[in-house]
Amino acid sequence: MSTEQLNQVIEAIISGKYSWACVLILRFSGYNPLQYMPYRTYNRLIKQNYNLGNRNKTSSSQASKILNRC
């Protein structure tokens, strides 16, 4: 896990977004979060938090493209 990725996880934990931190840890470790949580939960977390991790550079359509890859 790179320093930037670790900072994203720590930022999520400090913000109280523990589920999002779990998703980040799984993704950064090379695991598919969908094997560990329901699709609807993962989808909700992606929609709510994806822009936070990328400093609002991506649109919601780009977040949905990520969902389609899983």
Please report the pLDDT score of residue 58 as a whole number.
45
CB 40 within 8 A of CB 59: no
pLDDT at 64: 53
pTM over 0.75: no
Which two structure tokens, joined as six digits, stand for 17? 């977004």
Task: Give residue 62's Cα distance to chain centre.
Answer: 13
Taking only the tens place, the pLDDT of each residue in 15-68 is: 999 999 999 999 999 999 999 999 999 999 999 987 665 554 444 455 555 555
pLDDT over threshold 70, residue 3: yes
